[in-house]
Structure 1
Amino acid sequence: MGRLLRGHKAAVVALLLLQLVQAGATLLLPTINAAIIDDGIVAGDVSVISRLGLVMAAVAAVQAAAAIAAGYLGAVVAMKIGHGLRARIFDRIQALSSQDVALFGAQSLTTRATNDTQQIQAFALLVFTMFFAAPAMGVGGIALALHQDAGLSAVVIAIVPLLVLIMYLIVRRLIPLYREGQDFLDRAGGILREQIIGAMVIRAFVRQDHEVQRFAGVNRKLTANNLQSALLVAGMLPLIMLVVNLSSVAVVWFGGHRIQAGQMNLGALTAFIAYILQILLAIMMAMYVLMTAPRAAVCAERITAVLDAEPSVTDPGPAATAPRRFPAARHLQTPSRAAAVEFHNVGFSYPGAEAPVLAGVSFTAAPGTTTAILGSTGSGKSTLLNLVPRFLDSTSGRISLDGTDIKDLPLDGLRRSMSIVPQHSHLFSGTIAANLRVAAPEATDSELWAALETAQTMRFMRDLPHGLETRVGQGGTSLSGGQRQRLCIARALLRKAPLYLFDDSFSALDYATDVRLREALQSNLSTATVIVVAERISAVEAADLVLVLDGGHLVAQGTHLELLAGSATYREIAESQLALDGRQ
C-alpha cells in the first residue's frame, strides 16, 4: 500500500483530517441532542432548545460538508491509484521478454492489468471513504458511551468482541475463496480467448459442443466459488443486524430501569443509544471494508508478482555502448554501412528444460550479404533469429553486432538498428497507413506506396475501396495470410536499417509472388545485412550463406551448391522439396 500511496501523501493527510472532522461532528450530535432533551424539553426552556438547535444544525452542516469533501477526495485518490497501477503494470509487461510473458500467460496478464487493478481501486475507494472514519467513530463512541453511563457500557463490552469474532471467521474463509476465484477467472478468460481466436478451427473440426462443455466446466466452478463467497458476505449483514437489534433492546431495557430508579436521565439514554448505534455503524463500516480486503489482497499478490518480476532480458541502459556508425532513427535514411552479426558458440535453453534448444552455434552474417537459416520444424530457427534483437537472451556464448556484444547495447538502440518481420504477421486495428507508420511515424504517403510496391502488394491494394485509409481488424483478420505477410514486409522496409531479419515471412506467398518479392528485396537491400528463416529450398538458393540446423545444432553451412555436395541433411531436404515441385 505504501508504494500505491507514493505521490498522494498530501491528499491522504487531508483526507484523514476531513474524516476526523466528519467523525467528530457525528459524535458531537448525540451529546447536543441529549442536552436539548434534558435542558430544553424536560426543563421547558425554549431558549435552550433554540440555541442548541442552531448549534446542532451548524454541526450537522460541518459533518455533511466534511463527508462530501472526503468522498470526493477519496474518489480522486482511488482513481489516481488505479491509473498509476495500470500504467506500471503495462510498463512492466512491455519490459518482459516473450519467455517471461509465456510464464505468466497472456490472459492472466490481461486479467491482472484490468480486473485485479479494478478490485484494488474499489478497495482503495472504500478505505478512503469509510475506513479512516470508522476507528475514530468507534473509539470516540465507546469513550462517550462510558462517559454517559458506565453501567450500561457492559452491553458495549459484550457486543464488540462478538462482532469482531464474526468478522474474523468470515474474512478468514473469504481469503482462499477469492484467491481460487481469481484463478478460475484467469482460466475462463483463457478458454474464451482461445475459442474466439480459434473459432475457424473449432468449426472446421465440429468441436463446438466440446468447447462449450470445456468452458461450461470452468464457468460452473467460477459460479460455485462466487456463490460461496457471496453467501458469506450476504450472511454477514443479518448477523450484524441481529447483534445490533439485540443490543438496542438490551440498552432500552436496562436504560429504562435506570431512568425509573433515577440513576440516568432521558437525554443520556437517547445519547447512549445513539453512541451504541454509531459504534456498531463504525464496526459495520470496518467489516464492509474488510470483506473486500481478501479479494484485494489476492489481487495485490498477483499484481506484485508482475511488478516484482525481473525481466530475463535486461537493458544496460542509455549509458551503455552505442552501436558504432549506426544510422540515426530517421525513417528511410540510407545506412552508412551494414552491420556484421557474429555468433560465437551460442546456446539457448529454457529454464528447467532437459535439453537446450540451441547449442554451439557459430557463424558470421557479413555486411551486404543474405544469410538463410534452414531446418526441420522445431530445429531452433526462430529461436536463433529471436536472439539477435534480444527477444530472448542466449544462455551461453556471445552474439556481437558490428563488433560489440549485443548485451552491452541499450535495447532501444539495438532494435532501432534492425528491421524485423516476425513469424506471425500481426497488424493492429486501424488503417493500413497507420500500421505501416508503426515502423516510420513520419513517412509520407509516397514512401508508403513505394514500400508497398516493393512488397508486391499493389495488385490487392488497388482493389481496396479507400487505399491507404482502408481499415483492418485487430490482427489483420480481414486480410488473407499472404496479404498480411506482404504488409508486414512493407512495414519493415520503411525503416532503412543496416540489418533485416525475416522470420519465415514468405510462407503464405505463392511461388510467382515469392520470386518477384525476393528479386525486389535483393535490389533494395543490397547494402544491408539480411538474415532469413525459411522453409523452402527455393527461398535459400540465392543466399550467400545457408545455415542448416538440426535438433538445435548447426550441422552445416555454405552456399546452396556447396551444401548439395557436402551436407546429407541439406541434400535430403532439397531432394524432397524439389521432387514435390517437379524440378528434380
Structure 2
Amino acid sequence: MKLMLKYLKRYPLLILLNIIGIFSFAAVQLGIPTVMAWMIDNGIGNGDIAYIKSMGGIMLMVCILGGAGTILLTYASSRISTYMIRDIRNDVFVQSQNFSHTEYNKFGVSSMITRTTNDAFQLMLFSNLLFRTALLAPVMIFISVFMTIRTSMTLSLVIGGSLPLIVAGVIIIAKLTNPLSEKQQKGMDRMNRISRESLTGVRVIRAFRKSEYEAERFARTNEDYTADSRKLYKIMSFTQPAFFFLLHLAMMAVFWISSVMIEKGSLQVGQFVAFLEYQFHAMFSIMLFSMVFVMYPRARVSANRIQELFDEVPLVNNPSQGITAENKGMVEFDHVTFQYPDGELPVIKDISFIANKGETVAFIGSTGSGKSTLINLIPRFYDATRGSIKIDGVDTRNYDLKELRQKIGFIPQKAFLFKGTIEENIKFGNPNATPEEIDHAVETAQAKDFIQNKPNKLQEQISEGAKNISGGQKQRISIARALVRRPEIYIFDDSFSALDYKTDAALRIALKEETRESVVFIVAQRISTIMNSDKIIVLNEGEVVGMGTHKELLKSCNVYYEIADSQLTKEELER
C-alpha cells in the first residue's frame, strides 16, 4: 500500500533491525530441528554421549540467538507500526485543519473522527502483523521447503499438494471479506454520528421525550454493524480450523509414507523428526502469510478512507507565496457573489461596499438572507465564487492564511469554548497575553462580574461543551477571547443574542472605545444593537436592498423599516 510505504521510508534503521530479527528467528526455528536430527541419528543412534553433549551446547547457543532475535523482531515491528500510525494520525489532523467548511460538510465530522481513530487502528494492527509475520513468513516458507526437499523429495510432495488448496482458500476469503469490510467501516461512521448527535443533543432529546426513539435508532444501527461484523468474522473464523485440518491430513500422509521409508531404510528416524518440524513451519508460515491476505481487505479499506482525506484538495488554498500587508484599515467587497459548491443558486449576489478603519458596519435581514455567509468570506472559510474581497487593498486570496486570520478577531454565532479554565479559553486568542491584558479584555466584554463570582475566578473549569455556564456568559468569554487578540478586524456574528439589553448596551459602549482603530462587522437581529453603526447593510435573499445609517434606512428601505417597526416603539422610530 502506497500510504504505508510513504511513512515506512522514515524509519530505515528500525526496518533494518526488523530484518535482522526475522533472519535470526528463522535461523533458530529451522536450526533446532536440524541439530536435533544430527543428535538422534549420529549421537543417540551410535550411543555417542560426547556428540550428544556437543550438539546440546550448540542447541543452547541457537536458543539464545533465537531469544535475542525474537525480542529484536518484536521491538522493531512494534515501534514501526506505532510510529507509522502516530505520523498518519498527526498528518490527518493537520490535513483536517487545512480543510474548508466545504470539505467538512463533504466527509462529515463523525466520519473524519472514525478515519483518524478506528481506521488508523486497523492499519496499526495490519502493519504490526505485516512486520512480524508477512516479512518472516516468506523466509520461513522458502527455507522450510528447501530443507524438506533436502531431507526427502518424496515426503516434500505432500506439502506441494497442500499449497494449492491453501492459496485457493486465501483468495476466496479475501474476495468475500472485502465488501463486508467496507460495509463494516461505513457502519462505524453511522454509529459514531448517531452517538455524537445523541450526546451533544441530549437536552433536546430529553425535552422532546425522544430517548426511547434515539435508543432504538442507535440499536438498529448497532445491530446492522453487528450483523456485518458477524458475517465478516464468521468467514475469517474458518481460516484457522481449515488450515489445521489440512495440516493434520498432511501429517497423516507423512506418517504413512515415512513408516514405509523407515522400514525400507531409505529414511532415518532423526530425518523423519526434522521433516515433521520443517513441514509444520512451512505450512504454519503459509497460514500466517494467508492471514495477512485475510486482513488485507480491511486494512485496504481503512487505508483508502484515510487516503481520501489526503487526496482531497481544499477549496480554500493557502498561496505558496502568501503576502502580508500593512494595517491601513480598509475592507472592500467588490461585486462579490457566492454559491455553495453543492448549491444550485447563489446565496450572495453582487455585493459591493467599503469599510474603513474605525467604522462599524452592520448587517441585518431576515433569516436566510446571507448575513453569516457574507462575513464567513472575510476570513476565507469559503472563497467568493465571483468578485473579490480586499483587505488593505490586497485580495484575501493572495494573503498567507495565517497572516490573514491573524488580522481578524472572530466571534461566531454559536459561541464555542474548549474544556479547560476560563483563562485558557481567553488566551486561546493570544497565548502571550499578560494578566493585565486579560483583565482588560474581560472587563470590556462585561464578563468581569460573573467571573469574579466564580469560586476559582479565571481558573474556573469550563466543562466539555461549556454546559456549566450560560449562553450569555459563553458569548462574553468568546468576545474577551477576540479582544485580547487586538486584531485589525472584528467580526461579531450575532454575538450579542444571548445578552440582556442592559449588558448589550454596556458592551457596545465599551467596544466603541476599544475598537476605534479597527474595522468592526456586526451581524445582528436587534435594531438596538446596530442602530448607532456607521453603515448598516440590509440583506434580502442574498442581495443588498438598503445601505446607510439607521435614520437614512428608516426613510429609504422598506425592509429595514419593517424590521425596526417590529422591534422599536413609535417614539424610538420618530427620534
- Fold-level similarity (TM above 0.5): yes
Map of 1:29 onto structure 2:
32
Matched, 1:259 2:249: no
* Unmatched runs of 5 consecutive residues or more in structure 1: 327-336
Aligned partner of 1:323 in structure 2 is: 325
Amino acid of the structure 2 residue aligned with 1:320: G
1:248 corresponding residue in structure 2 = 251
- Determine the C-alpha separation between the residues in 1 that align with 2:255 and 2:545: 92
CA deviation after TM superposition for structure 1 residue 502, in Å? 0.7
* Aligned match of 1:575: 565
Q: Which runs of 5+ in 2 are unaligned?
A: none
- Deviation of 1:579 after TM superposition, in Å, equals 5.8
Kept after mapping to 1: 8 A contact 2:444/2:510? yes
Q: How does 1:183-582 map to 2 (within 5 A)?
A: 183-317=186-320, 319-324=321-326, 326=327, 339-578=329-568
**What does residue 104 of structure 1 align with?**
107
Q: CA deviation at 1:573?
A: 1.7
Q: Deviations over 1:402-440 (max 9, x none)?
A: 111111110111111121111110111111011111112
In the other structure, the counterpart of 1:5 is: 8
Superposed displacement of residue 10, structure 1:
2.7
Residue 26 of structure 1: CA displacement? 1.6
CA distance in 1, matches of 2:424, 2:405: 20
Q: How many correspondences in the alignment?
A: 571
Instruction: Give, in whole Å, the separation in 1 of the partners of 2:460 and 2:120.
Output: 35
Seen in structure 2, the aligned counterparts of structure 1 residues 582 and 496 have a Cα distance that, compared at 3 Å, is closer
Secondary structure of 1:152's aligned partner: helix
Q: Among residues 173, 177, 188, which one is paired with 1:174 in the alignment?
A: 177
The residue type equivalent to 2:168 in the other structure is L
1:486 aligned partner, one-letter code? R
- Distance (Å, rounded) in 1 between the aligned partners of 2:323 and 2:514: 29
The answer to whether the 8 Å contact 2:331/2:356 transfers is yes
SS at match of 2:342: coil
- Displacement of 1:228: 1.1
Which aligned segments of 4 or more residues in structure 1 are displaced greater than 3 angstroms? 579-584
Deviation per CA, 1:172-212: give whole Å up to 9, x if none.
Answer: 21111111111000100100110111111111111111111
Whether contact under 8 Å (2:332, 2:390) holds in the other structure is: yes
Residue 8 of structure 1 and its aligned partner are, at CA, apart by 0.9
Tell me the equivalent position of 1:158: 161
Give the secondary structure class of the aligned counterpart of 1:187. Answer: helix
Name the Cα RMSD after superposition: 1.5
Give the 3 Å change call, closer, same or farther, for CA 274–108 of structure 1 in structure 2: same
Shift of 1:96: 0.7
Q: Matched residue of 1:465: which SS?
A: coil
CA drift at 1:311: 1.2
Residue 127 of structure 2 corresponds to: 124
Q: Determine whether 1:81 maps to 2:84.
A: yes
The CA deviation string for residues 215-273 of structure 1, in whole angstroms up to 9 with x for no partner, is 11100001111111111222211111111111111101111111112221111111111
Cα distance in 2 for partners of 1:28, 1:535 equals 82
Aligned equivalent of 1:61, options 61, 64, 69: 64
Identity value in percent: 36
Contact 2:330 2:391 in 1 (8 A): yes
Q: Report deviation, 1:352.
A: 3.1
For residues 504-537 of structure 1, the C-alpha deviation after alignment (integer angstroms, 9 at most, x for no partner) is 1001111111111111111211221101111111
Deviations 1:102-131 (A, max 9, x none): 111111111111111111112111111121
Is contact 2:316-2:380 (8 Å) kept?
yes
The one-letter code matched in structure 2 to 1:54 is: G
Distance in 1 of aligned mates of 2:436 and 2:530: 31
Alpha carbons 1:323, 1:414 under 8 Å: kept? no
